[in-house]
Chain A
Amino acid sequence: MLKHTKLRAAVFAALALPLAAQAQNVTVDELLKRLEAQEQKIQALEQKLEAKEDATASAPGAAPTAEEQQQQILVLERKIEIQEEAAAAAKEATPVVSAGPKGFSLKSADGKNQLRLRGTMHLDGRYLPDDDHGVIDTFQATRVRPTIEGTFAGIYDFKFMPDFGQGRTVIQDAYVTARFNPAGQLTLGKFKAPVGLERLQSANDMKWVQRGYPTSLAPNRDIGVQLGGDLGGGRFSYQAAFLNGSNDGSSSETFADTDINDDKEYALRLFAHPFAESDSFAIRGLGIGIAGTYTDQVGNLTQPLLPSFRSPGQATFFRYRAFGTTAGTIADGERTRIAPQLYYYVGSFGLIGEYTEVSQDVSRVVTAGNRTGSVDSDAWQLAASYFLTGEEAAFRGFQPKSRFAPSEGTWGAFEVVARVQSLSVGDEAFAGGADSFADPLASARQADSWGIGFNWYLNENVKWLLDYEHTSFDGGAADGDRPDEDAYQLRLALGF
């Protein structure tokens, strides 16, 4: 500004002398024109000067002004800020890969698409000191189940779980669940029928090498469609399923995963955690429910649609007569199951109790013609568990307080378990002498078992199970009762 003022003063001074000298010879208009011309010259000079100043300021090598330096700092700060925003945005869009005790997963940035790799491996050893039961002491890979789970679009869950255990290849689970909302989830495919409480517990959470008797009366996996969901913030849940129909304790692979008739099975299960939000710690962990199934199906000679039952030591102690022969018993009519159930967890203590009753219409071609009847079977169990090392017991999942690391002086979690259980088959099965539906000399009417076990959790994924279970039978032998059974079983379980 100072430069401009000086410039103006000099120009006006230069103008003043000739103007004064000629003042008497020129008109006012001419003077104004001259002034305007001079003003324009001044403006042009100012612009040239500004441009020169700008050029000088931005010329390479010119020392930046304090203002320019401040701008440069601000620009750098802003660029860093933008880079950080871009990095944060990129992070939001970057898929998340994770690996941990719960398996391995790949998840889209918004969490709506996921792929999880999980697995179960159960390596068992079985020893029965008494050889009277026809059971071979053996080691076996009972479950070998690589599992792929995932979610698409935040709604559609899927699970694919083959099983290569016991030298066979079976698809245990293959289903898609559409989670429209918590109260309405539609599942289609092969999945666990919503009946038995212990059956619905993941194999990774099993506390015994063998599941209990009530599970022998409940269907295992079946193919069909299920509507289920949670109500009241998870305090109540329901599942209603329409299924091909499965034998007691069996899966649809019994029929090569294809149905043998048009008649289907209905299943319904209701379960509640009535005190889930209670202030009382003692009752919060109570879950109680009831399940049932109904079907009306007729078997045939190759697929009689009837079960056999095994003891904890895996001895078959009951089967219907003459399976697979023209004189064999087959399912012929209605089959209903009802299964009240509960669990209770408080602190380190856990309890599962369930009762299952099955009423099965049967028939058998005998000399006098077609003999029909209805056989009622029931089973119950009470299985308790307690973590000696203070972990919190739960129906699903487990978090050890320490992991097995002798160098660090930690040994994992220890749990003791005990259970009593019983399975009985109705007298109707054995009535009729030679025409009976089951042979009383070969099949026991009842099995009563008690057992104890010790579980050692090395960490979340690896555990040892050691069980002893004693069973006594009612009937089932030519000379009365089948001999008592003592079974020792060991399992190394890997689950993730």
Chain B
Amino acid sequence: MKNKGAWSRILGAVAGSLAFIATAGAAETVLLNVSYDPTRELYADYNQVFSSYWKKKTGQDVTIRQSHGGSGKQARTVIDGLQADVVTLALAFDIDALVKQGKLLPANWQARLPNNSSPYTSTIVFLVRKGNPKKIKDWGDLARPGVAVITPNPKTSGGARWNHMAAWAWALKQPNATEQTAEAYLAKVYANVPVLDTGARGSLTTFAQRGIGDVFVSWENEAHLATKELGEGKFDIVYPSLSILAEPPVAVVDRITLRHKTTDLARAYLEYLYSPEAQEIIAKHYYRPRNEAVLKKHASLFPDVKMVTIADFGGWDKVQTKHFNDGGLFDRIYAKK
């Protein structure tokens, strides 16, 4: 009995110690949002608003950290161990990789939030030098000799994959088009690419700050950012005749939030993206809000564009295999460059 008493005391002491450690460790609640390249400014703003909202709602202080890079690269980093509580990436395929390769969240993650877990959309446009000296009006112009095209590497950048698929969609809609003619067209476009950055932000630097190229194939929001903040009056935005509906998705990384005990916080963080306040911030940063009222309010920023969706090509799994996996279409045409 004496021993049992001693063990009880010890177990109590250990439990108390662990509770102390847990309490000491919980003094600061930290959430890590691993995102893609162009969302830096969006989430910097949103995090402040959400932190205030969360403090008001729960009384809890929360620090939200951001990590940005090419979407594919970011997904790889999370699979390799970066402790992301939430991911807000450029395309669903990259979050699917966390499911398949990392088993970090359930396969139905896209059904857990409205709009396939995409609280905002965007599309692909052209950013050209002021006055559009090369008269770049549509996708066909990117294949013209003498036109230097800036786009990131689709192996590492989600945005680049959207660019690639938008161009592919346009090529397939041309008279008498076949996949062979579309591939030949893309080969000409990539032949015009002097520099392949790893992410959209790097490509923006190449185009806007280093002065390279005639056209930057860009996220719509990134193009607006360039015209407003990197040199007002230096660039024009050109909407092509056809583009693609980009739906950047968001997800809670369950296995990590369970470990961090941040599941509720992470879920709330993503759900709040759909609130009118957050949708306003989204519009302010030139992402197309899902909220109809907010979208209508900012309609002048977002011209109507005829768009295809990735579903038109069979979804990201199929697209990835065909276009971007090793030995895929991109490798074939870029190797010829």
Contact = CB atoms under 8 A, between A and B. Distances in A.
A144 to B, nearest CB: 35
B151 interface: no
B212 A183 contact: no
A46 to B, nearest CB: 11
Given A54-B145, A58-B146, A242-B10, A82 B202 contact: yes
Interface in A234-265: 240, 242, 262-264
Contacts of B10: 242, 264
Q: Is the interface of B mostly helix, strand, loop or mixed?
A: helix
A54 B211 CA distance: 20
A4 interface: no
A232 to B, nearest CB: 14
Interface string B158-194: 0000000000000000000000000000000000001
Given A57-B146, A78-B212, A262-B3, A186 B195 contact: no
A463 to B, nearest CB: 39
Nearest to B206: A78
B212 A75 contact: yes
A194 to B, nearest CB: 15
A181 B195 contact: no
A310 B13 CA distance: 37
Contact of A78 (B2, B13, B146, B195): B195
A342 B198 CA distance: 58
A82 B146 contact: no
Contacts of A183: 21, 24
B210 interface: yes
B335 interface: no
A251 to B, nearest CB: 22
Interface string A52-88: 0011011000000000000100110111011001100
Contacts of B195: 75, 78-79, 82
Contacts of A79: 195
Nearest to A224: B10
Contact of A225 (B14, B145, B210): B14
B25 interface: yes
A184 B21 contact: yes
A78 B213 CA distance: 12
A75 B213 CA distance: 9
B94 interface: no
B313 interface: no
B17 A186 contact: yes
A227 B145 contact: no
Interface string A78-114: 1101100110000000000000000000000000000
Contacts of A139: none
B280 interface: no
A54 B192 CA distance: 13
Contacts of B20: 184
Contacts of B194: 71, 75
B6 interface: yes
B13 A74 contact: no
Contacts of B148: 71
B197 interface: yes
B17 A227 contact: yes
Contacts of B145: 54-55, 58
B144 interface: yes
B25 A264 contact: no
Interface string A30-65: 000000000000000000000100110110000000
Contacts of B6: 263-264
B45 to A, nearest CB: 26
A263 to B, nearest CB: 7
A281 interface: no
Interface in B185-232: 194-195, 197-198, 202, 206, 210-212
A54 B2 CA distance: 96
A272 B146 CA distance: 74
B206 A184 contact: no
A475 to B, nearest CB: 37
A12 interface: no
A90 B226 CA distance: 29
Interface in B4-36: 6, 10, 13-14, 17-18, 20-21, 24-25
A240 B24 contact: no
Contacts of B146: 54-55, 57-58
Contact of A82 (B2, B14, B144, B197): B197
B204 to A, nearest CB: 12
Nearest to B77: A93
A181 B24 contact: yes
A51 B14 CA distance: 80
B3 A263 contact: yes
A75 B337 CA distance: 16
A74 B14 contact: no
A397 to B, nearest CB: 28
5 contacts: A54-B145, A71-B212, A77-B210, A180-B24, A240-B17
Given A54-B144, A54-B146, A78-B206, 20 more contacts: A58-B145, A75-B195, A78-B212, A79-B195, A82-B195, A82-B197, A82-B202, A85-B202, A180-B25, A184-B20, A184-B21, A184-B24, A186-B18, A225-B14, A242-B13, A262-B3, A263-B2, A263-B6, A264-B6, A264-B10
